[in-house]
A and B are shown apart, each in its own frame.
Chain A
Amino acid sequence: MTTIPFYTELPEFNTADLLSATRLNQMLSNLDAVYGLDQRMSIGQTYGWNSSRSGENGSFWLGWVAYHGNQLKIYVNEACTVEFDVTQKHQLHTVNFTSAGLKTITLPAGYTEYDCYCIRIQNQLPPRYAYMTDSTAAAIGTMPAFTNGATSSAADLNAVLRATNTLAEQFNQPIPSTSVWASGPTTPAWLNNQDLYSIVFWMQHRHNRFEFYATASSSGGSGPLDTLAWHVDTTGSGSWHQLWAYDISRPGSFPPAGQSVYNISLASAGLTVGNWYRFRFSHGNNGTHGDGTSKLYYYGEQRTDTAALWTPQERWDAGDVAHGDDDGPPQLDTMSANLAWLNTNRRHTTNPVQRKSTQERDATPETRTERVFSKRVHRWLAYENDLPGTTPTLFYTTDKLNVFANVTMPVSYSTVYLDLDTTPVKRGMVFYVENCNYAIQVPDHP
């Protein structure tokens, strides 16, 4: 049984049942649980390695996905071969593409739900992004109107129950991690196909705010100010729109005293919800010495306010009149309205592929592992060791996002599922993992 966070399945209604406030309130709580899954942070995926050259011998891109859905969507940057289940846990599935673009790979049956599978593109450009979806995921249809004065029916209430169940299943997706990034001469950002002082990644646009936590110190010497900035490519072809910028005085550091997590608006960029966009964080290292450094710990789209089209769900009390579509709140039709709104968000309930956190570069044989961060939603963390001799480690913070305690995790070279309830990481906390090929939160495990 898949566990949906904060969700409790309910029996259906029957004609002649008494309508219960307790039961209605549980239905509302379930809807709130689905809403919460939709409103979770959208984390960017940092694809690629340092080379942007096509056909570099020996170069490859690896990603991992917790199997959930039935097809892989992958945006390839050029003609290439995509391999699914490279480690052949079940069976290798290979597809050749002759052009760039968003491709769909229908996966054969037999893969295990929530087991983690490796995806590879060899000697070609890495993909922009990749994710799994379920082609059979159904829409919820028209929700009942609950018109005042109309005769009630079990079918109305069961339509709400079923629709909530349907959306809960669809919104309950694995949650991958993304990279903690550092710039500067001593910690080059060579994992990304950008320069030393910026990180570029693709991210699905879901919320109207962007949140991040970063630290930086300015470069030395004379010259203009160092500048930290966020940009988004609004067209996918290099139309960089500045979202935010901050000048660091020299000498100086970021964030300024009293500031920690930044939350910036995306409204000015005119992005479309559900589409994927390229984001860039950069450190304009203008000092004479060019030795400024920055570190990006945590970043992604995160809303700050309740979504505009979501109607707050006031609870019922025994003795309340069952208002239909007027005279409340509470009103029964609030459930229909909220379900209809959630239904419009179905298309971006995807299961993103996480780029393997250890990437090897052929031109200069070197292996680098990076920390990957996530915000806890689910109970189980699927991971496996990256390199022999290393110990997977879980970092967590209850204070500032750059101050961490850590616990080690069991060493395993196949997918293992850590019960996060046995760690200090509570739901909602940011955590980091290192020395793992991947770290993906899953609601259940095989």
Chain B
Amino acid sequence: MAQSITGTSLAVNAVKAVRHPSVEFNVAWGRTADTFPDNWATQSTNEYARIRSVNWTRQLDMRGPLALGASPVAALTVELDNYDNRYSPFNSTGALYSDLLASTTTAGGLTVEYPKLWQVPIQLKMGFEGERLTVFTGLIDDPGENYGVSGSTVSYRCVDVGGMLLKRKFSTSLRTQTNIKDWIVYLMQLAGADAHIGVNMDNSFFYLPYVWLDDEDIYSECSKAAASEGGYFYFNEGGKSVFRNAAWWAQKTDSTTSVFTFTVARFTDITPGYDWRSVATGALVEYQGRQPAGEQVVWKSSSTIVVPPGTDEAPGLETLEARLEFPCEEVYPPATVIDWLPINAGGVSMADNVGIFMRRYAQRVQMSFINNSHETAFITRMQMRGKALFGGPTEQVDRRIAVPLVPSNVIRISDNPYIQTKPQADLVADLVCDRMQYPRLTYKLAGVPAIPWLQLGDRITITATDPITTSRAAIVTKLDFAWQPNGRFTMGVEAVDAAGLFQHASFFVVGTSLYNSATQVLFR
């Protein structure tokens, strides 16, 4: 969806022969991902005057089948002039010193100082003639400094909000029959990223039958969940999450109606590509159902658990994290004798003196044993029971293309734990076959005067009549922007030809199409 430019003059100013870029680079010094600004105007500093260069990239992953493309986190690199050592963390006279350097004291009394530039929120706005759009929202991921004959600079490699979620791993309890959108929202809330939840995420076609996390990162899981029915997950320019389902390019207005036309006057180079290597003759999509397996022993201790005696000040404490053999809908509190029996070395029961506190997730349990007595407690052969969930045997949907263009190239899609049902696998297999059965036409445009409102998934028109007689419609899959003061504000565009992504031109839209309309046909 192209960003809205309604009410602005950006459309006019962006295509003028002489353009005057307008830049705003906000850095929320002293803040982190956990204290992300909710008001950039008051909670950040505009550092645009220091920019030597800035470039940023966002893309859909085109390495695999288009239908299952994930989106790598968008990245931005900015170089700032540091002639006065403003950005030098160890410069104690610098204006930002207190925001750039932290210190702590070790257990042995040593003072350790370190720059606290990691995950500092940033925002870039670009436009023309004083009108700007937010084109990147993220965090500093990799700061660097350079001092020398070419001047003093700092460079910050930044990632979008997805980069923050990549580094946040969690375990959850088991959830059932979950809409992908709801699962994404839940995971983002779990990661403390409520402020980054997008408001217009798509609904999924199917429920995810069983979902849980077991020490897994949020971004990857959201991407896999989206891919389980041919969708995409990423963060947009404003730092909000986006989930687009399989119908994205066939449904959204900006994907079905051209947002911008690139004529030869609007780029310096065009490189059409024809990808025969990925032409498919079919698709194999694996799915693995899950089913309740009833009450099972899901963990047994590997050795004797020793709980030290308490003191007059505090009870004895031993902690243990058990990874369960199966994910569980419910883990039962251990029953004395059947599941555990704390004793002293002489076999005397200490069940009245030793307690257990548990934090239960779908596939792991954190246990704390509390010993209120003055003698050591031993727990042998402890076990945990729960309502387990079994992974059924893996099955697959096998689709073959009726008239293949190459001898044999069956695309296999496996290892997505969110594909658990045959309808999910059917949908993915159909999409892959639709999109990969012809040599994929791609376009790379370089030296393009930047159009900052363009977004991934937008439909564009490419008009280059000499090499390509008829204008082509294409879907944007990658955007590279670059700007430096007194230089050009340019972009590179990668797009995939829109023809053949789907087998039909017009689909049945619920709420708009008429029943029995001959031109409105069913999507996959």
In the complex, the answer to whether A22 meets B509 with C-beta atoms within 8 Å is no
In the complex, the answer to whether A20 meets B515 with C-beta atoms within 8 Å is no
Q: Which A residues touch B426, using CB under 8 A?
A: 22, 25
Q: Taking A22-B430, A324-B516 as contacts, is the C-beta distance between A154 and B511 under 8 angstroms?
A: yes
Q: Which of the candidate stretches A6-14, A221-229, A273-281 sits at the interface with the other chain?
A: A6-14
In the complex, the answer to whether A18 meets B508 with C-beta atoms within 8 Å is yes
Q: A17: shortest Cβ distance to chain B, in Å?
A: 5
In the complex, the answer to whether A22 meets B508 with C-beta atoms within 8 Å is no
In the complex, the answer to whether B251 meets A332 with C-beta atoms within 8 Å is no
Number of A residues with CB within 8 Å of any CB on chain B: 50
Chain B residue nearest to A328 (CB atoms) is B516
Identify whether the interface residues of A are mostly helix, strand, loop, or mixed: loop
In the complex, the answer to whether B522 meets A152 with C-beta atoms within 8 Å is no
Chain A residue nearest to B511 (CB atoms) is A15
A362 proximal to B (CB < 8 A): no
In the complex, the answer to whether B507 meets A11 with C-beta atoms within 8 Å is no
Select B503's contact among A15, A151, A319, beta carbons within 8 Å.
Answer: A319
Q: How far is the CA of A445 from the CA of B250 in the complex (A)?
A: 44
In the complex, the answer to whether A322 meets B247 with C-beta atoms within 8 Å is no
In the complex, the answer to whether B511 meets A25 with C-beta atoms within 8 Å is no
In the complex, the answer to whether B508 meets A322 with C-beta atoms within 8 Å is yes
Q: How far is the CA of A432 from the CA of B396 in the complex (A)?
A: 35
Q: Taking A8-B421, A11-B207, A320-B521 as contacts, is the C-beta distance between A19 and B508 under 8 angstroms?
A: yes
Q: A202: shortest Cβ distance to chain B, in Å?
A: 33
In the complex, the answer to whether B510 meets A26 with C-beta atoms within 8 Å is no
A117-172 residues with Cβ-Cβ distance < 8 A to B are: 146-154, 157
Q: How far is the CA of A159 from the CA of B209 in the complex (A)?
A: 22
Q: Taking A21-B524, A322-B513 as contacts, is the C-beta distance between A16 and B421 under 8 angstroms?
A: no
B381 proximal to A (CB < 8 A): no
Q: How far is the CA of A228 from the CA of B58 in the complex (A)?
A: 80
Chain A residue nearest to B428 (CB atoms) is A22
Select A22's contact among B179, B504, B512, B524, beta carbons within 8 Å.
Answer: B524
Q: B192: shortest Cβ distance to chain A, in Å?
A: 27
Q: Taking A11-B206, A14-B203, A22-B205 as contacts, is the C-beta distance between A321 and B510 under 8 angstroms?
A: no
Select B507's contact among A19, A26, A317, A380, beta carbons within 8 Å.
Answer: A19
| Centre residue among A1, A154, A320 by max chain B CB count within 10 A | A1
B423 proximal to A (CB < 8 A): yes
In the complex, the answer to whether B512 meets A151 with C-beta atoms within 8 Å is yes
Q: How far is the CA of A25 from the CA of B206 in the complex (A)?
A: 12
Select B251's contact among A16, A24, A25, A322, beta carbons within 8 Å.
Answer: A16
Number of B residues with CB within 8 Å of any CB on chain A: 41
Q: How far is the CA of A417 from the CA of B517 in the complex (A)?
A: 51
In the complex, the answer to whether A17 meets B522 with C-beta atoms within 8 Å is no
In the complex, the answer to whether A316 meets B522 with C-beta atoms within 8 Å is yes
A3 proximal to B (CB < 8 A): yes
Q: How far is the CA of A1 from the CA of B423 in the complex (A)?
A: 21
In the complex, the answer to whether A321 meets B423 with C-beta atoms within 8 Å is no
Q: B29: shortest Cβ distance to chain A, in Å?
A: 42
Q: B522: shortest Cβ distance to chain A, in Å?
A: 4
In the complex, the answer to whether B293 meets A419 with C-beta atoms within 8 Å is yes
Q: B425: shortest Cβ distance to chain A, in Å?
A: 10
B2 proximal to A (CB < 8 A): no
Select B207's contact among A10, A20, A149, beta carbons within 8 Å.
Answer: A10
In the complex, the answer to whether B517 meets A322 with C-beta atoms within 8 Å is yes
Q: Taking A152-B511, A157-B510 as contacts, is the C-beta distance between A11 and B204 under 8 angstroms?
A: yes
Q: Taking A8-B421, A23-B423 as contacts, is the C-beta distance between A16 and B511 under 8 angstroms?
A: yes
In the complex, the answer to whether B515 meets A318 with C-beta atoms within 8 Å is no
Q: Which A residues touch B207, using CB under 8 A?
A: 8-11
In the complex, the answer to whether B513 meets A20 with C-beta atoms within 8 Å is no
| Centre residue among B209, B293, B514 by max chain A CB count within 10 A | B514
Given contacts A8-B206, A17-B203, A152-B508, could you give 18 more A-B pairs where the C-beta distance is less than 8 Å?
A: A8-B207, A10-B207, A12-B203, A19-B509, A22-B524, A148-B514, A149-B514, A151-B514, A152-B513, A152-B514, A152-B515, A318-B504, A318-B524, A321-B520, A322-B513, A322-B520, A380-B294, A417-B294
Q: Name 6 interchain pairs, CB-CB below 8 A, sorted by A.
A: A8-B423, A21-B524, A320-B521, A322-B521, A323-B516, A445-B294
Q: Which 10 A-B pairs have the closest CB atoms?
A: A324-B515, A15-B511, A148-B516, A19-B508, A18-B523, A18-B247, A21-B522, A17-B510, A22-B427, A419-B294
